[in-house]
A and B are shown apart, each in its own frame.
Chain A
Amino acid sequence: MRMAKNSHTQLSSGYPHVNLRPAVQVMRLARLGSFHQSRLSFMRVLLRRLKTQNWTFDRPIWRIDDKGVGVATYRASGPERSYTLVAFAHDLPAEKRSDRVIADAWDATFALFDGEPTEEDIERLSKNVPLQEAGRVSESELSLSRANRSVRLFEYVIDRLSRGEQPELDVIEPVGYLMRTTAVYGSGKFGAADRDKWADRDEFVGSFQPELLSVWLTRSFTLDLVEHLARVRAPDTVVAMDKDIRRRFGVGNSTGLGMAPFLLNHPALIHSWISAREIALGRVRSQQIAAPDAVSKFRNLMARAHINAMDWGSAHPLQIEKIEALRNDFTLMVEHLKGDVFESELPWDALYRWADRTLSVEGQEQIVSLMIDAHAELVDDLPATMQANESELFTIDGMSSIGNLRREIEEHYGWTLSADFSNKEAIARVWYVSEEKLEPRLGERFEEPIEPYEQPLAPARDAAAVYHALEGWDEKDTVAEFLMKHPEHRHMVRRVQLVAFLPYAEIQDNTIAADMLPIDLLRCKLSFFGATKFDPRSDRWVRITMYQGAPYPEELSSMDPDDLAYPPLVTT
């Protein structure tokens, strides 16, 4: 994979007024850990496309018994192809229910089948999908996932419906889902089809589209399952759930450290995501005047994002602090927007600059998402750029000079050169993979015997190490000569050269420092998915809600999925 220089700035040609935010500002963990969903988020991109392409949906198989055990299939049919979620519902004893990746049984397990499965396919999947990592899927499957019931809501909703009553919103909202997925595997994992097989399909342009299709269909399954169990319990008194209440259920997700290294392991992909978002912001800020419909859209979405912030609960001290700051930011925004802020030249730029001076980082990134969301026509070409072909490695330019390499490190990793990596605090952590289910973990370098197993997830330290290893080399010597002598620096030299082309590819923080918060990495990725209600359960795992408020498959043709991404202004 060789790249053209400045590929990210070319994307923004035609929008010359306001410079993009530099990587040194954007790529800090505290900011990445404050990102919010927007219309560039992958769930919203998926639903928008399924709607535009007039996809249809049905449930060919429902063989779930009175105990809630069995199989169901959900089919999505598009212009050229169809996909089928095969859902297995299990009878899981409460004591076995765990979201941890080390669990070995779940309430429900799923695979997204490429096409329409035969009975033989379903039989094959029934022997493998319930085992998850211990089973095998095939090239016919695009994803493998599982979900557990919410103890707080699952039984509550069955009980209410079976007694002829609707569940209450103030009970639903703090949780927001009936089941939460605990892993959604795609792209070749456990035998599933490689990304190469489907990457060029229209319906999957962007990132994580098959996985998120699977989660959206899973949401339908969770609602169908509670309604089924309520009907079984009390066929005479049961009621169907009100459609507006139904839509307040998303799918939960519980995400741990397994996701955190992703941002470091996929630099080109991360650049494509962040770059698209920054270009979107740059385009909005570059508008000479504020279009009236964009202003009214912005005001509407802001009021609804405010409701979302008020409903957003967390038990984690750091997140509580951030939510409180965000609520305060909304108060400031409401006050600020009472003035004639949209009358000036470059009004969106002025609004952004005001936010940058005035709001918390959480609030700044919220306003960025709202500004993007108010300008569909300016940004909707960008999701198609949010992908990267990673089936090849970035090719090292061995003929580049040591002088160049030095300058690239100084420019893109300059801050690491003054850091003291002999200080224990700076290298306190070790990313490693546990032999138990091959789960990525974070350990303490000076307290556990794990250093020999360290993963290459500390680019800050490693960039500084390359720089120091270059001492004594002549400016005109080549990178190839250096790497022949120092193969131990090969992974980092590759990274330095890649970042010179793709500036948003690198996190500008020390990922092994004692005070590093893995949840910042998780939040960044999950916001690009389109997650809401980010609720850290510790500094290294997090609950979120996906598709809360979104239309169900049967509603997609008559509703606007982007509008529904924010809570309604008036709740029942």
Chain B
Amino acid sequence: MNWSLVEIRTLSMKAARGAGFSWGLAEEAGLAVRWLQARGMPGVQALAQYLEQCEMSGIDPDKCPLQNGAGVSDGASPEEGELGNIRTPLLLIPFVAQSLAVPSCRLQCGDQQFTISKDGYLFSGSAAQSLTAEAKCGFIHDGKVVPPTDRKSRVPDSDAVHVSTLAKFAHRTYAPATEESRMAGAGAGLSDND
């Protein structure tokens, strides 16, 4: 089993909403996961990890990669500077990439370092290392050339367990079915078998 990026983007948005984020940030979460997965990075796993963190210890806006990422994208954060402690900082990368006004920048997350361009990033560590649970983050502009990352069009079966985690959160956005809603809510009633 594998998934289209559209499916994963929609699922991620619903999952973030189900975990308690605003619709606007949930939209950003969907896009961030899509951006990472399209470049072969573990976006689904990152969001699943982050939403579980929120489940365990609540949403902390100061440490939130979605809120802070959106802040970077909006220009509310300084172009170069400290973001403080951020949970699952991998999720920051798409926001930084999309708001870049220079060829690239370096994002420091604890002892990990990502070089980010508009269309990709360089990271010398493993996928597991990229999924740091929480780290002090900051970024500085850089002139380093980052080759465009190869694109992926699917989310592979190996992500199934993380997709399930997102589906668990997404499920919270669905209203329980009742016979009343089945009839009135969907507007049935007339025979549709003619």
Q: A residues bordering B, Cβ < 8 Å?
A: 94, 97-102, 136, 138-139, 148, 150-152, 187-197, 254, 256-257, 391-393, 395-396, 398-399, 432-436, 438-439, 441-444, 448, 450, 453, 456, 478-481, 483-484, 487-494, 518, 537-541
Contact = CB atoms under 8 A, between A and B. Distances in A.
B185 A490 contact: no
A560 B185 CA distance: 42
Contacts of B76: 398, 478, 480-481, 483-484
B192 A487 contact: no
Contacts of A254: 192
Interface stretch (B3-11, B85-93, B105-113, B136-144): B3-11
16 contacts: A191-B1, A194-B5, A393-B28, A398-B71, A398-B73, A399-B75, A434-B182, A441-B175, A443-B175, A448-B180, A448-B185, A450-B175, A453-B175, A478-B75, A490-B24, A541-B186
A152 B194 contact: yes
A492 B24 contact: yes
A164 B6 CA distance: 50
A218 B3 CA distance: 26
B176 interface: yes
A192 B5 CA distance: 10
Contacts of A398: 71, 73-76
B31 interface: yes
B74 A396 contact: yes
A441 B4 contact: no
Contacts of B194: 150-152
Contacts of A197: 153
A257 B187 contact: yes
Nearest to B3: A191
Contact of A439 (B4, B75, B173, B186): B186
Contacts of A94: 193
B24 A540 contact: no
A100 B192 contact: yes
Nearest to A186: B6
B174 A434 contact: yes
Contacts of B171: 435
Interface in B54-102: 61, 67, 70-71, 73-76, 98
Contacts of A481: 76
Interface residues on B, range: 35 or more
B189 A491 contact: no
Given A151-B193, A395-B73, A453-B173, A518 B187 contact: yes
A456 B76 CA distance: 25
B175 A139 contact: no
A188 B5 contact: yes
Given A100-B186, A195-B6, A490-B25, A435 B193 contact: no
Nearest to A195: B6
Nearest to B67: A487
B74 A479 contact: yes
A488 B74 contact: no
A242 to B, nearest CB: 25
B24 A434 contact: no
Contact of B192 (A98, A257, A438): A98
B190 A443 contact: no
Interface string B135-167: 000000000000000000110000000000000
Nearest to B188: A100
Q: Lowest 5 CB-CB distances: which A-B pairs, in order? A: A490-B24, A398-B74, A188-B6, A540-B187, A480-B76
B158 to A, nearest CB: 16
Contacts of A478: 75-76
B22 interface: yes
B27 A494 contact: yes
Contact of A435 (B22, B28, B34, B177): B177
B181 interface: yes
Contact of B2 (A191, A441, A487, A494): A191
B123 interface: no
B74 A441 contact: no
Contact of A433 (B22, B173, B190): B173
